[in-house]
Amino acid sequence: MRLLPFLVAGLLCCTLEPAVSQQRDYAIRPLPLTAVHLSDGFWAPIIARDHTRTLPHALSECAKEGRMTNFDIAANRTKGKFCGIYPFDDSDIYKAIEGASYSLMDQPDAALEKTMDSVIALVTAAQRPDGYLYTARETNAPNLVNWMGPERWVNERNGSHEFYDAGHLYEAAVAYYQATGKRSLLDAAIRNADLIASTFGPGKRAIASGHEEIEVGLVKLYGVTHDEKYLRLARFLVNQRGTISHPDANPDDPYSTGAYSQDDTPVVDQTTAEGHAVRAMYLYSAMTDLVAMQGDSAYLHALDLIWDNMVHTKYYITGGIGAIGNWEGFGRNYQLPDRTAYCETCAAIGCVLWNERMFRLTGDAKYVNVLEQTLYNGLISGISLDGMNFFYTNTLEVRKDFVHPDLERTRSPWFPCSCCPTNIIRLIPAIPGLIYAQGNGGIYVNLFAGSDATFSFPGNRTVKLIQQTGYPWTGRVTLILYPSASFSFPFFLRIPGWVGPHPVDGDLYHYTDSSTALPGLKVNGQAVPYEMVKGFAVIRRQWKKGDQVEWDLPMQIKRVLANEQVRDDRGKVALQRGPILYCAEWTDNGGRTSNIILPDAASLQTEFRPDLLGGVQVITGTVPALKASTDGLSLETASQPFTAIPYYAWANRGPGEMTVWLPRQVHDVEIIARNRP
């Protein structure tokens, strides 16, 4: 299960219960969704599809599976038994409300708002007078006692997810209040949070959440209420992790050690990304929030070490995280298998959320580079081009002769555990809020997408910014500034990681061409010098109405190699162009991909295909492919046409083979049977 975006900034601290005299926040702030209008040819259709197809589809599936009915039963308005096999299904409704809220900020829709009002009425009717809200318990679901325990919160650490549900409730409530000004759900969230704050904390009950999420939700509640008890409770819960011993722990079993839920060691002593990847992303997001609010150097030191470990040793080239299906999470350093890659869609979403926070905390573009690599590849691969089918896991290779329980060859319209579809619903409409930011006295352009945005500066000054681009298919970006009056401020333009020798920070992946072709940068048609600050090209000048910045990002095809310690990718190469990672899929390559070889000398071209997969840039060439040998003993090859498509678009034309990493030579081909046709 997973978490969402950026609306209210985060917060953290260092002592057990520091006094906070005034509300603080991230030094760098995202723009409100209402201040950004997207016209982009790539993202606008995806966001529109989420509004018109994905959200209604998810609400329909939730109703069909009884998610709505559970609230009616809990409110004693109808009779029946709990519908579902998981006690945390309430969270899917909350995530749908949150996603709908972001859609309403971007595109007011009276019918959608009316639907959400009716859903919220269901939710609030089910709440107990003291604020408790958890329909699995309120409907007395006997089949879920092992999950939730016989009493409130007694099994929270081991599976009830009561705090997880609460966190998503808080996020939904804050988002809907910001979108509509309506307080019904916000008041319900406050009652629930007040109940938990009166029960847990110093001198009261102590517990660590089993699935982190409440911590982020509490921070968001603080953002709208300014009630510091929510901030203190978030920190208290974070600090409970790693405070219980595991006398029978097996170091190879993350469940027994507590590592599965980042609960084996106090957070300030953790140095590696471990355990369930989604839980980890939510924990690290909450810690980053708390650092921003309360300035905890111990938390920040731990986060820096964990981020380095994840990005340098446990991060797929697709932007996916969480290699191991057994615990939906991180494995050992460099343990990144392709065919059995788990790469849960929710984990990719969590990765975007954490890295967005780390950028706002530090102003470093390396975090946006990871965010972009994940967003354009391993995140949107989780949803089909029709917006109504989903991947829970995102593999990097499909072969007709390989079967594995975690391998999904096609997307599904829904899942019994539907965390990924509803998480996508809340991430997609929030994307406009990731494009720009404001801080350090200036404007940050983080992502490149056709849009216009309005920035507010002290002294009642404003700047309207219009961005025009064909990104990610072209590297040409034009930015036109319209300040309300001429004044000076720094303008930060991110130089994407893929422009340099590495797509993201570290040596886990590198391009065969190690040169760094810095983009051309002009203002009003004239080349201008710029200062490099943490991966941003910074222009400092007096800006006037109509000033035009032209950004020319090089868009050549790049070959990617993995660190030799990644066993599955030795002797193999992947393809990337701009932020888009490519794969070979069966339907374009003679029905197979497991026989393709991509030599370093193979000439490759690129072209835009408006008729293919909604309009994509493809990579083409002629390459050798293995074929049946005449003697039945030797390896023989024959030349054949080759096409690679964006990884996010695979599995939209039926099931078949797919691969991201291609062998560079015949002897690098992995063969189960030497002469398999």
Q: Which residues belong to the active site?
A: 328, 419
Nearest alpha-carbon partner for 4 in 96, 86, 88: 96
Who's near 1: CB < 8 A, 6+ residues apart?
A: 88, 91, 161, 164, 211, 213, 278, 346, 417, 419, 423
Tell me the C-alpha distance between 17 and 219, whole Å. Answer: 15
Q: DSSP string covering 255-291, please?
A: HHHSGGGT-SS-GGG--S--SBHHHHHHHHHHHHHHH
**Torsion sign (Cα): 177, 183, 187, 189:** negative
Tell me the C-alpha distance between 509 and 50, whole Å. Answer: 32
Who's near 84: CB < 8 A, 6+ residues apart?
A: 65, 66, 67, 70, 136
Give the distance from CA 599 to its chain's centroid. Answer: 33
Q: Give me the residue label for tokens 């471990």.
A: 274
Return the structure tokens found at 235.
């920190």
Who's near 454: CB < 8 A, 6+ residues apart?
A: 31, 35, 462, 463, 464, 465
471 with 578: CB under 8 angstroms?
yes
551 with 521: CB under 8 angstroms?
yes
160 with 152: CB under 8 angstroms?
no
* Phi, psi dihedrals of residue 145, rounded to the nearest 5°: -60, -35
169 with 201: CB under 8 angstroms?
no
Tell me the C-alpha distance between 406 and 344, whole Å. Answer: 10
* Phi, psi dihedrals of residue 543, rounded to the nearest 5°: -95, 140
Who's near 527: CB < 8 A, 6+ residues apart?
A: 520, 521
Tell me the C-alpha distance between 250 and 227, whole Å. Answer: 42
Element (H, E) at 297: helix 297-313
Cis peptide before 472 (omega within 30 of 0): yes
Neighbours of 49 (CB within 10 A): 19
Element (H, E) at 468: strand 461-469
